[in-house]
Amino acid sequence: MITDGSHPSHMDPDPAQTPSSTALQSTTQQPWLPAHGVVLADAGAHLAWLGYYVELDEGQNYRKTGTFGPMAGHVNGAIGVKLAQPDRTVVVGCGDGCYSMSGFELMTAVEHNIPVIWVIFNDNEYKLIKIYQFATYGETGLVKFQNPDFAGRSPITALRLTASSTGSWKWWSSVFAMADRPWC
């Protein structure tokens, strides 16, 4: 947290919702992704968490959305990846903003039993847009929103675990143990 006045404190992450680097590092040192697994990182501030902390073994893949950063590109595309490579575990790390733009793909995955895992980084705002607005204009607007209960609206069993409820984000291994059906 910067306290020298160079930016307002509301730009700092909420400690209750932000995993510590120690917690994420302890998670990535465990074999949390099955062999030949695919991690897709959607556009947004969460991409930085995934890009920095996810460590892969040979045969595993990590893809981000690309130069233009289309929001929800991998929320949707994960189904195609899984259909094209059904023997691989497909995981999407997406922000709540990205997921809300195209979350109905989850219904397609459930209807056709396409086992994709969506991990939603839920902070009730378009964080990357907020940072850009503040850096450019010195203020932000229209970036906060109220999310639905993602697990409650899901027609499937969902995980609602956070760093604070699990202590060290060890829940990754349990997420991938359930990779035979769609999860969010």
Whole-prediction pTM value? Answer: 0.72
Percent of the chain with pLDDT over 90: 30
pLDDT 10s digits, 80-125: 999 999 999 999 998 889 888 886 777 788 888 898 988 888 899 9
Report the distance separating Cα 127 and Cα 143, nearest Å: 7
Could you say which DSSP state residue 37 is in? -
Residue 119 is predicted with a pLDDT of: 85
CA distances, 17 to each of 82, 98, 121, 123, 128 (Å): 30, 18, 9, 7, 16
Residue 31 is predicted with a pLDDT of: 63
The radius of gyration of the chain's CA atoms, rounded to the nearest angstrom, is: 16
Q: Are 56 and 31 in contact (CB under 8 A)?
A: no
Domains of the chain in start order, with CATH, are: 39-177 (3.40.50.970)
Q: Are 183 and 175 in contact (CB under 8 A)?
A: yes
Residue 104 is predicted with a pLDDT of: 74
User: What SS3 string covers 123-146?
Assistant: CCECHHHHHHHHHHHCCCCCCECC
Q: Across the strands, what pairs with 152?
A: none
Strand, coil or helix: what is 48? helix
DSSP helix, strand, coil percent of the chain (3-state; round to 5): 40, 10, 50
